[in-house]
Structure 1
Protein backbone atom coordinates (compact mmCIF):
# COMPACT_ATOMS: atom_id res chain seq x y z
CA UNK A 1 0.00 0.00 0.00
CA UNK A 2 1.14 3.61 -0.26
CA UNK A 3 3.78 4.42 2.31
CA UNK A 4 4.39 7.96 3.48
CA UNK A 5 8.03 8.93 4.01
CA UNK A 6 8.20 11.37 6.91
CA UNK A 7 11.00 13.80 6.08
CA UNK A 8 10.26 15.86 9.16
CA UNK A 9 8.43 15.09 12.38
CA UNK A 10 4.73 15.91 12.19
CA UNK A 11 3.26 18.42 14.63
CA UNK A 12 3.11 16.59 17.94
CA UNK A 13 -0.14 17.96 19.22
CA UNK A 14 -1.46 16.01 22.15
CA UNK A 15 -5.10 16.99 22.03
CA UNK A 16 -7.06 13.90 21.05
CA UNK A 17 -10.59 13.66 19.85
CA UNK A 18 -11.79 12.74 23.37
CA UNK A 19 -14.23 10.31 21.78
CA UNK A 20 -16.20 13.03 20.00
CA UNK A 21 -19.73 12.29 18.88
CA UNK A 22 -18.70 12.13 15.21
CA UNK A 23 -15.51 10.42 14.08
CA UNK A 24 -14.02 12.08 11.01
CA UNK A 25 -12.48 9.55 8.62
CA UNK A 26 -9.67 11.07 6.56
CA UNK A 27 -8.85 9.63 3.13
CA UNK A 28 -7.21 10.73 -0.12
CA UNK A 29 -10.01 9.95 -2.56
CA UNK A 30 -7.55 9.44 -5.42
CA UNK A 31 -6.25 5.89 -5.22
CA UNK A 32 -8.70 3.39 -6.70
CA UNK A 33 -9.79 0.83 -5.79
CA UNK A 34 -8.75 1.69 -2.23
CA UNK A 35 -10.46 5.09 -2.27
CA UNK A 36 -11.75 7.41 -4.99
CA UNK A 37 -14.43 9.97 -5.81
CA UNK A 38 -17.36 8.43 -7.69
CA UNK A 39 -19.58 10.04 -10.33
CA UNK A 40 -21.85 11.39 -7.62
CA UNK A 41 -18.92 13.25 -6.06
CA UNK A 42 -18.80 10.95 -3.03
CA UNK A 43 -15.91 9.06 -1.48
CA UNK A 44 -16.11 5.46 -2.63
CA UNK A 45 -14.03 2.30 -2.86
CA UNK A 46 -12.77 -0.54 -0.70
CA UNK A 47 -11.87 1.69 2.22
CA UNK A 48 -15.19 3.52 2.18
CA UNK A 49 -16.99 0.19 2.45
CA UNK A 50 -14.64 -1.11 5.13
CA UNK A 51 -14.72 2.13 7.08
CA UNK A 52 -18.51 2.34 7.11
CA UNK A 53 -18.73 -1.24 8.38
CA UNK A 54 -16.11 -0.60 11.06
CA UNK A 55 -18.01 2.45 12.30
CA UNK A 56 -21.23 0.41 12.40
CA UNK A 57 -19.63 -2.37 14.42
CA UNK A 58 -17.90 0.07 16.76
CA UNK A 59 -21.22 1.92 17.19
CA UNK A 60 -19.69 5.20 16.06
CA UNK A 61 -21.15 8.00 13.96
CA UNK A 62 -18.65 8.71 11.19
CA UNK A 63 -18.22 11.24 8.40
CA UNK A 64 -15.67 11.26 5.58
CA UNK A 65 -13.08 13.95 4.93
CA UNK A 66 -10.94 14.20 1.78
CA UNK A 67 -7.32 15.31 2.17
CA UNK A 68 -4.32 15.40 -0.16
CA UNK A 69 -1.80 12.62 0.44
CA UNK A 70 1.27 14.75 1.10
CA UNK A 71 -0.32 16.40 4.17
CA UNK A 72 -2.46 13.54 5.41
CA UNK A 73 -0.45 12.76 8.56
CA UNK A 74 0.15 16.37 9.68
CA UNK A 75 -3.55 17.13 9.31
CA UNK A 76 -4.46 14.09 11.39
CA UNK A 77 -2.09 15.17 14.15
CA UNK A 78 -3.36 18.74 14.07
CA UNK A 79 -6.94 17.56 14.51
CA UNK A 80 -8.53 18.14 11.09
CA UNK A 81 -9.90 14.57 11.24
CA UNK A 82 -9.64 11.61 13.59
CA UNK A 83 -8.43 8.69 11.48
CA UNK A 84 -6.51 8.00 8.30
CA UNK A 85 -7.98 5.25 6.16
CA UNK A 86 -6.16 5.77 2.89
CA UNK A 87 -4.14 2.76 1.79
CA UNK A 88 -1.45 3.62 4.34
CA UNK A 89 1.01 0.85 5.17
CA UNK A 90 2.03 0.37 8.76
CA UNK A 91 5.69 1.32 9.17
CA UNK A 92 7.99 1.82 12.14
CA UNK A 93 8.79 5.34 10.94
CA UNK A 94 5.16 6.40 10.90
CA UNK A 95 4.53 4.68 14.20
CA UNK A 96 6.88 7.18 15.83
CA UNK A 97 4.39 9.95 15.03
CA UNK A 98 0.95 8.27 14.98
CA UNK A 99 -0.61 5.00 16.10
CA UNK A 100 -2.09 2.27 13.93
CA UNK A 101 -4.81 -0.29 14.26
CA UNK A 102 -4.09 -3.83 13.16
CA UNK A 103 -4.00 -4.27 9.40
CA UNK A 104 -7.23 -4.54 7.40
CA UNK A 105 -5.38 -5.24 4.14
CA UNK A 106 -2.56 -7.83 4.06
CA UNK A 107 1.01 -6.89 3.11
CA UNK A 108 1.38 -6.58 -0.64
CA UNK A 109 4.03 -5.64 -3.18
CA UNK A 110 4.91 -2.65 -5.32
CA UNK A 111 5.75 -2.99 -9.00
CA UNK A 112 7.31 -1.17 -11.94
CA UNK A 113 5.22 -0.37 -15.00
CA UNK A 114 6.50 1.04 -18.29
CA UNK A 115 5.61 1.22 -21.96
CA UNK A 116 8.34 -1.31 -22.76
CA UNK A 117 9.50 -4.46 -21.00
CA UNK A 118 13.08 -3.27 -21.66
CA UNK A 119 12.71 -0.11 -19.55
CA UNK A 120 15.69 0.60 -17.30
CA UNK A 121 14.28 0.76 -13.77
CA UNK A 122 17.65 0.87 -12.01
CA UNK A 123 19.49 3.49 -14.06
CA UNK A 124 16.72 5.34 -15.89
CA UNK A 125 14.10 7.86 -14.84
CA UNK A 126 11.39 6.45 -12.56
CA UNK A 127 8.24 8.26 -11.42
CA UNK A 128 6.65 7.85 -7.99
CA UNK A 129 4.10 9.70 -5.92
CA UNK A 130 5.57 12.29 -3.55
CA UNK A 131 6.08 11.22 0.07
CA UNK A 132 5.79 7.47 -0.50
CA UNK A 133 8.12 4.62 0.32
CA UNK A 134 8.10 3.86 -3.39
CA UNK A 135 9.71 7.28 -3.92
CA UNK A 136 12.24 6.50 -1.21
CA UNK A 137 13.03 3.14 -2.80
CA UNK A 138 13.62 4.72 -6.21
CA UNK A 139 15.89 7.37 -4.70
CA UNK A 140 18.07 4.65 -3.17
CA UNK A 141 18.04 2.37 -6.22
CA UNK A 142 20.34 4.34 -8.49
CA UNK A 143 17.54 5.49 -10.77
CA UNK A 144 16.63 9.15 -11.23
CA UNK A 145 13.50 9.90 -9.23
CA UNK A 146 10.78 12.23 -10.49
CA UNK A 147 7.98 12.85 -7.99
CA UNK A 148 4.38 13.86 -8.58
CA UNK A 149 1.60 14.90 -6.22
CA UNK A 150 -0.93 12.34 -7.48
CA UNK A 151 -0.73 8.76 -8.76
CA UNK A 152 -2.44 9.77 -12.00
CA UNK A 153 0.45 12.12 -12.77
CA UNK A 154 3.01 9.33 -12.36
CA UNK A 155 1.23 7.23 -14.98
CA UNK A 156 0.94 10.22 -17.30
CA UNK A 157 4.69 10.78 -17.00
CA UNK A 158 5.34 7.27 -18.30
CA UNK A 159 2.85 7.63 -21.14
CA UNK A 160 4.28 10.95 -22.33
CA UNK A 161 7.90 9.86 -22.06
CA UNK A 162 8.83 12.03 -19.09
CA UNK A 163 9.72 8.87 -17.13
CA UNK A 164 10.90 5.44 -18.20
CA UNK A 165 8.77 3.68 -15.60
CA UNK A 166 6.61 4.19 -12.53
CA UNK A 167 6.86 2.42 -9.17
CA UNK A 168 3.59 2.09 -7.26
CA UNK A 169 1.42 -0.40 -5.40
CA UNK A 170 0.89 -3.37 -7.67
CA UNK A 171 -2.81 -3.54 -6.83
CA UNK A 172 -3.22 0.04 -8.05
CA UNK A 173 -1.34 -0.71 -11.28
CA UNK A 174 -3.02 -3.99 -12.26
CA UNK A 175 -6.27 -2.50 -13.65
CA UNK A 176 -4.35 0.26 -15.42
CA UNK A 177 -2.16 -2.29 -17.19
CA UNK A 178 -5.12 -4.50 -18.05
CA UNK A 179 -7.08 -1.57 -19.50
CA UNK A 180 -4.17 -0.11 -21.50
CA UNK A 181 -4.48 -2.52 -24.46
CA UNK A 182 -0.79 -3.35 -24.24
CA UNK A 183 0.45 0.22 -23.89
CA UNK A 184 1.58 -0.42 -20.31
CA UNK A 185 3.47 -3.51 -19.11
CA UNK A 186 4.93 -4.72 -15.84
CA UNK A 187 8.71 -4.68 -15.68
CA UNK A 188 10.70 -7.10 -13.57
CA UNK A 189 9.60 -8.77 -10.35
CA UNK A 190 7.29 -7.30 -7.68
CA UNK A 191 9.10 -5.22 -5.05
CA UNK A 192 8.14 -5.99 -1.43
CA UNK A 193 7.82 -2.72 0.48
CA UNK A 194 6.14 -1.91 3.78
CA UNK A 195 3.66 -3.93 5.77
CA UNK A 196 -0.09 -4.35 5.79
CA UNK A 197 -2.48 -1.42 5.65
CA UNK A 198 -3.99 -0.10 8.88
CA UNK A 199 -5.93 2.90 10.13
CA UNK A 200 -3.82 5.76 11.44
CA UNK A 201 -4.86 7.57 14.61
CA UNK A 202 -3.39 10.12 16.98
CA UNK A 203 -1.30 8.60 19.76
CA UNK A 204 -3.66 10.15 22.30
CA UNK A 205 -6.68 8.26 20.93
CA UNK A 206 -6.02 4.81 22.41
CA UNK A 207 -9.70 4.25 23.21
CA UNK A 208 -10.75 4.92 19.64
CA UNK A 209 -7.99 2.68 18.33
CA UNK A 210 -9.23 -0.10 20.59
CA UNK A 211 -12.76 0.21 19.22
CA UNK A 212 -11.58 -0.04 15.63
CA UNK A 213 -9.20 -2.91 16.45
CA UNK A 214 -12.08 -4.89 17.92
CA UNK A 215 -14.22 -4.17 14.85
CA UNK A 216 -11.45 -5.27 12.46
CA UNK A 217 -11.00 -8.48 14.46
CA UNK A 218 -14.71 -9.24 14.20
CA UNK A 219 -14.65 -8.67 10.42
CA UNK A 220 -11.75 -11.10 10.08
CA UNK A 221 -13.45 -13.69 12.26
CA UNK A 222 -16.77 -13.74 10.39
CA UNK A 223 -15.32 -13.42 6.88
CA UNK A 224 -16.86 -10.03 6.08
CA UNK A 225 -13.46 -8.45 5.44
CA UNK A 226 -12.52 -11.25 3.03
CA UNK A 227 -15.70 -10.66 1.04
CA UNK A 228 -14.80 -6.99 0.64
CA UNK A 229 -11.20 -7.79 -0.30
CA UNK A 230 -12.36 -10.15 -3.06
CA UNK A 231 -15.01 -7.72 -4.26
CA UNK A 232 -12.53 -4.90 -4.79
CA UNK A 233 -9.28 -6.75 -5.56
CA UNK A 234 -10.39 -10.03 -7.15
CA UNK A 235 -10.68 -13.66 -6.12
CA UNK A 236 -6.89 -14.15 -6.10
CA UNK A 237 -6.17 -11.46 -3.54
CA UNK A 238 -4.68 -12.40 -0.16
CA UNK A 239 -7.27 -12.82 2.60
CA UNK A 240 -7.43 -13.55 6.33
CA UNK A 241 -8.04 -16.71 8.30
CA UNK A 242 -10.44 -16.30 11.28
CA UNK A 243 -7.43 -15.98 13.60
CA UNK A 244 -6.14 -13.03 11.59
CA UNK A 245 -3.29 -14.80 9.81
CA UNK A 246 -2.85 -14.05 6.11
CA UNK A 247 -3.97 -16.58 3.50
CA UNK A 248 -2.31 -16.27 0.09
CA UNK A 249 -3.92 -17.73 -3.00
Structure 2
Protein backbone atom coordinates (compact mmCIF):
# COMPACT_ATOMS: atom_id res chain seq x y z
CA UNK A 1 0.00 0.00 0.00
CA UNK A 2 1.49 3.33 -1.05
CA UNK A 3 1.18 6.47 1.01
CA UNK A 4 1.82 9.16 -1.57
CA UNK A 5 -1.32 11.23 -0.93
CA UNK A 6 0.39 14.42 -2.04
CA UNK A 7 1.14 12.99 -5.48
CA UNK A 8 -1.25 13.27 -8.41
CA UNK A 9 -0.95 12.19 -12.01
CA UNK A 10 -0.29 14.53 -14.91
CA UNK A 11 1.90 14.27 -18.03
CA UNK A 12 5.54 15.13 -17.35
CA UNK A 13 4.88 16.24 -13.78
CA UNK A 14 7.88 16.37 -11.46
CA UNK A 15 7.52 16.66 -7.69
CA UNK A 16 10.51 16.78 -5.34
CA UNK A 17 10.04 15.57 -1.77
CA UNK A 18 13.00 14.87 0.51
CA UNK A 19 15.29 12.50 -1.38
CA UNK A 20 12.66 11.47 -3.94
CA UNK A 21 11.72 13.04 -7.25
CA UNK A 22 8.62 11.78 -9.02
CA UNK A 23 8.16 12.10 -12.75
CA UNK A 24 5.53 10.95 -15.17
CA UNK A 25 6.43 10.44 -18.79
CA UNK A 26 4.69 9.51 -22.00
CA UNK A 27 3.56 6.20 -23.44
CA UNK A 28 6.08 3.36 -23.59
CA UNK A 29 5.98 0.45 -26.01
CA UNK A 30 6.65 -2.79 -24.14
CA UNK A 31 9.08 -5.29 -25.63
CA UNK A 32 9.54 -8.81 -24.26
CA UNK A 33 12.60 -10.97 -24.69
CA UNK A 34 14.63 -12.95 -22.21
CA UNK A 35 18.02 -11.34 -21.86
CA UNK A 36 21.48 -12.05 -20.54
CA UNK A 37 24.55 -9.93 -19.97
CA UNK A 38 26.31 -9.14 -23.20
CA UNK A 39 29.78 -7.80 -23.77
CA UNK A 40 30.45 -5.33 -26.53
CA UNK A 41 33.62 -3.80 -27.78
CA UNK A 42 33.42 -1.74 -30.94
CA UNK A 43 37.00 -1.80 -32.15
CA UNK A 44 38.35 0.45 -34.84
CA UNK A 45 41.85 0.14 -36.17
CA UNK A 46 43.60 2.32 -33.59
CA UNK A 47 46.83 0.42 -33.00
CA UNK A 48 48.85 1.61 -36.01
CA UNK A 49 48.00 5.29 -35.62
CA UNK A 50 48.46 5.91 -31.88
CA UNK A 51 51.80 6.88 -30.36
CA UNK A 52 51.99 5.59 -26.78
CA UNK A 53 55.71 6.21 -26.25
CA UNK A 54 55.17 9.19 -23.97
CA UNK A 55 53.49 8.53 -20.62
CA UNK A 56 50.27 10.43 -19.95
CA UNK A 57 48.70 11.01 -16.51
CA UNK A 58 44.95 10.48 -16.32
CA UNK A 59 42.64 11.30 -13.41
CA UNK A 60 39.57 9.06 -13.62
CA UNK A 61 36.37 9.94 -11.81
CA UNK A 62 33.65 7.45 -10.89
CA UNK A 63 30.97 6.80 -8.31
CA UNK A 64 32.08 3.83 -6.23
CA UNK A 65 28.60 2.63 -5.30
CA UNK A 66 27.47 0.50 -8.23
CA UNK A 67 28.51 -3.09 -7.67
CA UNK A 68 29.88 -4.96 -9.61
CA UNK A 69 31.05 -2.12 -11.84
CA UNK A 70 32.64 0.04 -9.15
CA UNK A 71 32.63 -0.22 -5.36
CA UNK A 72 34.81 0.26 -2.27
CA UNK A 73 36.31 -2.82 -0.62
CA UNK A 74 36.89 -3.28 3.13
CA UNK A 75 40.05 -1.21 2.87
CA UNK A 76 38.14 1.61 1.10
CA UNK A 77 39.99 0.87 -2.13
CA UNK A 78 38.12 1.13 -5.43
CA UNK A 79 37.36 -2.17 -7.08
CA UNK A 80 35.04 -3.46 -9.79
CA UNK A 81 34.69 -4.35 -13.44
CA UNK A 82 35.08 -0.77 -14.67
CA UNK A 83 38.12 -0.17 -12.47
CA UNK A 84 39.82 -3.34 -13.73
CA UNK A 85 39.06 -2.43 -17.35
CA UNK A 86 40.45 1.07 -16.85
CA UNK A 87 43.61 -0.24 -15.17
CA UNK A 88 44.17 -2.70 -18.02
CA UNK A 89 43.71 0.08 -20.58
CA UNK A 90 46.17 2.28 -18.69
CA UNK A 91 48.74 -0.52 -18.65
CA UNK A 92 48.78 -1.12 -22.41
CA UNK A 93 48.31 2.54 -23.42
CA UNK A 94 51.15 3.87 -21.19
CA UNK A 95 48.83 5.90 -18.97
CA UNK A 96 49.43 6.63 -15.29
CA UNK A 97 45.93 6.52 -13.85
CA UNK A 98 44.38 7.58 -10.55
CA UNK A 99 40.75 7.14 -9.48
CA UNK A 100 38.54 9.59 -7.63
CA UNK A 101 35.10 9.11 -6.08
CA UNK A 102 32.34 11.60 -6.91
CA UNK A 103 28.54 11.66 -6.87
CA UNK A 104 27.09 10.22 -10.07
CA UNK A 105 25.06 13.29 -11.05
CA UNK A 106 28.19 15.47 -11.20
CA UNK A 107 30.51 13.17 -13.15
CA UNK A 108 30.13 14.72 -16.58
CA UNK A 109 30.27 18.24 -15.19
CA UNK A 110 33.67 17.53 -13.65
CA UNK A 111 34.95 16.67 -17.13
CA UNK A 112 33.44 19.75 -18.72
CA UNK A 113 35.10 21.98 -16.12
CA UNK A 114 38.42 20.16 -16.39
CA UNK A 115 38.54 18.85 -12.83
CA UNK A 116 39.11 15.28 -14.03
CA UNK A 117 40.25 13.79 -17.33
CA UNK A 118 37.98 10.79 -17.82
CA UNK A 119 34.89 9.21 -16.30
CA UNK A 120 34.21 5.49 -16.13
CA UNK A 121 31.05 4.65 -14.22
CA UNK A 122 28.79 2.32 -16.22
CA UNK A 123 28.01 5.32 -18.42
CA UNK A 124 25.68 4.61 -21.31
CA UNK A 125 26.60 6.37 -24.54
CA UNK A 126 23.47 8.35 -25.39
CA UNK A 127 22.77 11.17 -27.82
CA UNK A 128 22.15 13.61 -24.96
CA UNK A 129 25.44 12.81 -23.24
CA UNK A 130 27.38 13.03 -26.50
CA UNK A 131 26.34 16.67 -26.72
CA UNK A 132 28.25 17.32 -23.47
CA UNK A 133 31.27 14.98 -23.65
CA UNK A 134 33.10 12.65 -26.02
CA UNK A 135 33.02 8.87 -25.55
CA UNK A 136 35.40 6.04 -26.22
CA UNK A 137 34.35 2.95 -28.12
CA UNK A 138 31.79 0.91 -26.19
CA UNK A 139 33.25 -1.77 -23.93
CA UNK A 140 30.08 -3.31 -22.43
CA UNK A 141 26.45 -3.67 -23.37
CA UNK A 142 23.45 -5.10 -21.58
CA UNK A 143 19.78 -4.04 -21.53
CA UNK A 144 18.23 -2.81 -18.26
CA UNK A 145 15.51 -4.88 -16.64
CA UNK A 146 12.38 -4.41 -14.58
CA UNK A 147 12.46 -6.18 -11.20
CA UNK A 148 9.43 -6.77 -8.97
CA UNK A 149 7.98 -9.22 -6.45
CA UNK A 150 7.53 -12.84 -7.49
CA UNK A 151 4.06 -12.99 -5.92
CA UNK A 152 2.65 -10.82 -8.68
CA UNK A 153 0.74 -13.21 -10.94
CA UNK A 154 -0.75 -10.85 -13.51
CA UNK A 155 0.97 -10.12 -16.81
CA UNK A 156 3.68 -7.59 -16.09
CA UNK A 157 2.92 -3.95 -16.78
CA UNK A 158 4.35 -0.71 -15.43
CA UNK A 159 0.96 0.96 -15.75
CA UNK A 160 0.03 2.55 -12.44
CA UNK A 161 3.26 1.33 -10.82
CA UNK A 162 5.79 3.17 -8.66
CA UNK A 163 9.14 2.58 -10.40
CA UNK A 164 12.46 3.11 -8.62
CA UNK A 165 15.51 4.12 -10.65
CA UNK A 166 18.88 5.75 -10.06
CA UNK A 167 18.66 9.51 -10.47
CA UNK A 168 20.33 11.14 -13.48
CA UNK A 169 21.18 7.76 -14.99
CA UNK A 170 20.44 6.81 -18.58
CA UNK A 171 17.78 4.44 -17.20
CA UNK A 172 16.16 7.42 -15.51
CA UNK A 173 16.25 9.47 -18.72
CA UNK A 174 14.76 6.57 -20.64
CA UNK A 175 11.81 6.24 -18.25
CA UNK A 176 11.14 9.97 -18.29
CA UNK A 177 10.86 9.82 -22.09
CA UNK A 178 9.03 6.54 -22.51
CA UNK A 179 7.23 5.48 -19.32
CA UNK A 180 3.47 5.11 -19.41
CA UNK A 181 1.51 8.22 -18.56
CA UNK A 182 0.01 6.66 -15.41
CA UNK A 183 3.33 5.35 -14.06
CA UNK A 184 5.28 7.08 -11.30
CA UNK A 185 9.07 7.35 -11.55
CA UNK A 186 10.85 7.60 -8.20
CA UNK A 187 14.47 8.70 -8.55
CA UNK A 188 17.02 7.60 -5.94
CA UNK A 189 20.58 8.66 -5.29
CA UNK A 190 21.65 5.03 -5.85
CA UNK A 191 20.17 1.75 -7.05
CA UNK A 192 20.80 0.22 -3.61
CA UNK A 193 18.32 2.69 -2.10
CA UNK A 194 15.74 1.71 -4.69
CA UNK A 195 16.29 -1.99 -3.92
CA UNK A 196 15.83 -1.25 -0.21
CA UNK A 197 12.47 0.43 -0.77
CA UNK A 198 11.40 -2.41 -3.06
CA UNK A 199 12.25 -4.87 -0.27
CA UNK A 200 10.12 -2.84 2.16
CA UNK A 201 7.18 -2.66 -0.24
CA UNK A 202 7.40 1.11 -0.70
CA UNK A 203 7.65 0.82 -4.50
CA UNK A 204 6.46 -1.78 -7.01
CA UNK A 205 9.33 -2.04 -9.47
CA UNK A 206 13.03 -1.25 -9.84
CA UNK A 207 14.47 -0.43 -13.26
CA UNK A 208 18.22 -1.08 -13.30
CA UNK A 209 21.09 -2.62 -15.24
CA UNK A 210 20.90 -6.39 -15.42
CA UNK A 211 24.24 -7.08 -13.72
CA UNK A 212 23.27 -4.90 -10.75
CA UNK A 213 19.90 -6.64 -10.47
CA UNK A 214 21.53 -10.07 -10.63
CA UNK A 215 23.83 -9.14 -7.75
CA UNK A 216 20.81 -8.03 -5.70
CA UNK A 217 19.06 -11.34 -6.37
CA UNK A 218 22.07 -13.23 -4.98
CA UNK A 219 21.85 -11.43 -1.65
CA UNK A 220 19.83 -12.60 1.37
CA UNK A 221 17.66 -15.01 -0.61
CA UNK A 222 16.21 -12.16 -2.65
CA UNK A 223 15.71 -14.56 -5.57
CA UNK A 224 12.89 -16.19 -3.56
CA UNK A 225 11.09 -12.85 -3.24
CA UNK A 226 11.81 -10.99 -6.47
CA UNK A 227 12.35 -11.75 -10.15
CA UNK A 228 13.11 -10.05 -13.43
CA UNK A 229 9.79 -9.38 -15.14
CA UNK A 230 10.94 -7.77 -18.35
CA UNK A 231 14.16 -7.11 -20.24
CA UNK A 232 14.02 -3.80 -22.06
CA UNK A 233 15.93 -4.73 -25.21
CA UNK A 234 14.60 -1.68 -27.07
CA UNK A 235 16.80 0.40 -24.73
CA UNK A 236 19.87 -0.78 -26.65
CA UNK A 237 18.18 -0.73 -30.03
CA UNK A 238 17.14 2.90 -29.89
CA UNK A 239 18.59 4.65 -26.84
CA UNK A 240 22.09 3.53 -25.80
CA UNK A 241 25.22 2.46 -27.65
CA UNK A 242 26.52 0.63 -24.57
CA UNK A 243 28.93 1.75 -21.86
CA UNK A 244 31.79 4.06 -22.76
CA UNK A 245 34.56 6.07 -21.10
CA UNK A 246 33.77 9.79 -21.18
CA UNK A 247 36.30 12.59 -21.72
CA UNK A 248 36.03 16.35 -22.16
CA UNK A 249 34.92 17.34 -25.64
CA UNK A 250 37.87 17.79 -27.94
CA UNK A 251 40.33 15.75 -25.87
CA UNK A 252 41.32 13.69 -28.91
CA UNK A 253 44.75 12.70 -27.60
CA UNK A 254 43.31 10.95 -24.54
CA UNK A 255 40.39 9.47 -26.48
CA UNK A 256 42.77 7.85 -28.98
CA UNK A 257 44.82 6.34 -26.16
CA UNK A 258 41.70 4.94 -24.49
CA UNK A 259 40.38 3.43 -27.71
CA UNK A 260 43.80 1.95 -28.44
CA UNK A 261 43.85 0.46 -24.96
CA UNK A 262 40.36 -1.00 -25.27
CA UNK A 263 41.20 -2.56 -28.62
CA UNK A 264 44.46 -4.00 -27.30
CA UNK A 265 43.03 -5.61 -24.13
CA UNK A 266 40.29 -7.11 -26.27
CA UNK A 267 42.76 -8.61 -28.75
CA UNK A 268 45.11 -9.97 -26.09
CA UNK A 269 42.28 -11.61 -24.12
CA UNK A 270 42.59 -9.44 -21.01
CA UNK A 271 39.11 -8.01 -21.42
CA UNK A 272 37.53 -11.47 -21.49
CA UNK A 273 39.48 -12.47 -18.37
CA UNK A 274 38.17 -9.43 -16.51
CA UNK A 275 34.65 -10.03 -17.79
CA UNK A 276 34.70 -13.64 -16.58
CA UNK A 277 35.69 -12.56 -13.07
CA UNK A 278 32.50 -10.52 -12.64
CA UNK A 279 29.86 -12.06 -14.87
CA UNK A 280 28.71 -15.63 -15.29
CA UNK A 281 27.47 -15.26 -18.88
Q: Which has the higher contact order (CA 8 A, sep 6+)?
A: 2
Structure 1 residues 93 and 138: CA distance shift in structure 2, 3 A: closer
Deviates more, 1:110-119 or 1:38-47: 110-119
Aligned to 1:187: 229
Question: TM-score when scaled to structure 1?
Answer: 0.81
SS at match of 1:103: coil
Structure 1 residues 192 and 35: CA distance shift in structure 2, 3 A: farther
Aligned to 1:12: none
Q: How many angstroms does 1:160 deviate by?
A: 1.5
Gaps of 5+ in 2: 1-53
Aligned to 1:232: 278
Gaps of 5+ in 1: 1-18, 237-249
**Which deviations, in whole Å up to 9, do the C-alpha atoms of 1:161-208 show, x marking residues without a partner?**
221010000111012113242122212344442221110001121001
Question: TM-score when scaled to structure 2?
Answer: 0.73
CA RMSD of aligned residues (A): 1.8
CA distance, structure 1, for counterparts of residue 129 and residue 85 of structure 2: 22
Q: Between Structure 1 and Structure 2, how many residues are aligned?
A: 216
CA distance, structure 1, for counterparts of residue 173 and residue 220 of structure 2: 27
Aligned to 2:149: 115
CA distance, structure 1, for counterparts of residue 211 and residue 165 of structure 2: 15
Contact 2:143 2:231 in 1 (8 A): no
Aligned to 1:53: 88
CA distance, structure 2, for counterparts of residue 81 and residue 151 of structure 1: 24
CA distance, structure 2, for counterparts of residue 79 and residue 144 of structure 1: 36
Matched, 1:173 2:192: no
Contact 1:114 1:164 in 2 (8 A): yes
Q: How many angstroms does 1:20 deviate by?
A: 9.2
Aligned to 1:141: 179
CA distance, structure 1, for counterparts of residue 63 and residue 77 of structure 2: 12
Aligned to 2:243: 197
**Which deviations, in whole Å up to 9, do the C-alpha atoms of 1:63-93 show, x marking residues without a partner?**
1111111111111111121100111011121
Aligned to 1:104: 139
Contact 1:27 1:65 in 2 (8 A): yes
Superposed, 1:1-249 pairs within 5 Å as 22-105=57-140, 107-116=141-150, 118=152, 120-139=157-176, 140-142=178-180, 143-181=183-221, 182-193=224-235, 194-234=240-280, 236=281
Structure 1 residues 20 and 68: CA distance shift in structure 2, 3 A: farther
Contact 1:23 1:82 in 2 (8 A): yes
CA distance, structure 2, for counterparts of residue 113 and residue 229 of structure 1: 23
